[in-house]
């Protein structure tokens, strides 16, 4: 059956750091002009959907905020459903803190009683921040990780990601984190609902073999692997992961749409 709906990862698929992936702008324009629906589905947790939109459009894309479903926003929605004005200890960026406050959540960086410890992307993570998080978890706070990706790519190579710190805290506290972003099936399904996508006609385009490719397949979707980000083709075999399609980059998506 022809593919009509696309969930498209951002980091490593559309750009790496501040470098746009060659042909990505044209590929998204092609999808839109062909009447195919897409959502940019990103585990990005240092930036909200609005910030991702601004970054993309600054690179020449033509994206609306509603085209993007980011783990940062999904995390805020998830916490607000649990408790409207929840108190959160955040390991994360200042811009995520602001988005949480704007949504009515209470955010602290200090060791004081909270409802949740929230672990998100933070390039300034320290021993002290993790150490406080540990004691709050042991004291009974809920544990939320925006995602559990091991690495992320930018133009200087691959870098340690949130998952590694989540695992450290899980190990030390004995408490499992609730993971918001990919590969949580709710994250895929919520984004599909936004474009009224049917499972059998939906494919995930991603560079992360675990979160994007295996995650999508476990959810019953087709998976299109691109080599423009964190992982290379060799990594698929090494990890026993078999995408439905494998491309050099999103630039080559056109021929497989009716495959």
When asked if residue 211 is in the footprint of Mg ion (CB under 5 A), the reply is: no
Applying CB under 5 A, which part among 11-19, 21-29, 60-68, 177-185 lies near Mg ion? 11-19
Considering the complex, state which of residue 9 and residue 67 has its C-beta at the smaller distance from Mg ion.
9
Site string for Mg ion, 215-244 (x = CB under 5 A): --------------x---------------
Considering the complex, state which of residue 40 and residue 88 has its C-beta at the smaller distance from Mg ion.
40
Exposure string for 137-172, b = 16+ CB within 10 A, e = fewer: beeebbbbbbbbbebbbeeeeeeebbbebbeebbee
In the region spanning residues 181 to 210, those forming contacts with Mg ion, defined by CB under 5 A, are: 207-208
* Strand, coil or helix: 208: coil
Q: 224, 256 in Cβ contact below 8 A? A: yes
**Least gap, CB of 25 to Mg ion (angstroms):** 17
For the chain, how many helices (H) and strands (E)?
9, 15
* Candidate residues 3, 7, 12, 70; the one interacting with Mg ion per rule CB under 5 A: 12
Q: 75, 42 in Cβ contact below 8 A? A: no
Considering the complex, state which of residue 133 and residue 213 has its C-beta at the smaller distance from Mg ion.
213
Helical (H) or strand (E) element with 222: strand 222-226
Considering the complex, state which of residue 12 and residue 92 has its C-beta at the smaller distance from Mg ion.
12
Q: 28, 13 in Cβ contact below 8 A? A: no
* Candidate residues 3, 5, 9, 166; the one interacting with Mg ion per rule CB under 5 A: 9
Residues that bind Mg ion (CB under 5 A): 9, 11-12, 207-208, 229
């Amino acid at each position: 059956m022809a593919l009509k709906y696309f969930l498209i990862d951002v980091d490593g698929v559309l750009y790496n750091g501040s470098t746009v992936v060659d042909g990505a702008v044209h590929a998204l324009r092609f999808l839109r002009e062909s009447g195919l629906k897409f959502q940019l589905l990103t585990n990005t947790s240092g930036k909200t959907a609005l910030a991702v939109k601004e970054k993309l459009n600054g690179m020449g894309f033509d994206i609306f905020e509603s085209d993007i479903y980011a783990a940062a926003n999904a995390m805020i929605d998830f916490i607000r459903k649990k408790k409207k004005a929840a108190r959160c200890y955040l390991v994360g960026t200042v811009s995520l803190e602001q988005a949480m406050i704007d949504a009515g959540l209470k955010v602290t960086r200090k060791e004081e009683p909270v409802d949740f410890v929230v672990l998100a992307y933070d390039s300034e993570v320290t021993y002290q921040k993790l150490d406080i998080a540990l004691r709050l978890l042991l004291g009974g706070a809920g544990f939320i990780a925006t995602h559990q990706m091991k690495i992320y790519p930018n133009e200087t190579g691959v870098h340690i990601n949130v998952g590694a710190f989540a695992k450290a805290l899980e190990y030390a506290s004995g408490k499992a984190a609730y993971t918001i972003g990919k590969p949580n099936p709710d994250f895929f399904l919520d984004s599909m609902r936004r474009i009224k996508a049917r499972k059998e006609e939906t494919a995930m385009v991603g560079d992360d073999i675990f979160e994007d490719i295996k995650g999508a397949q476990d959810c019953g979707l087709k998976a299109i692997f691109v080599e423009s980000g964190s992982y290379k083709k060799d990594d698929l075999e090494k990890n026993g992961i078999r995408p439905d399609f494998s491309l050099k980059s999103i630039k080559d998506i056109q021929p497989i749409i009716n495959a």
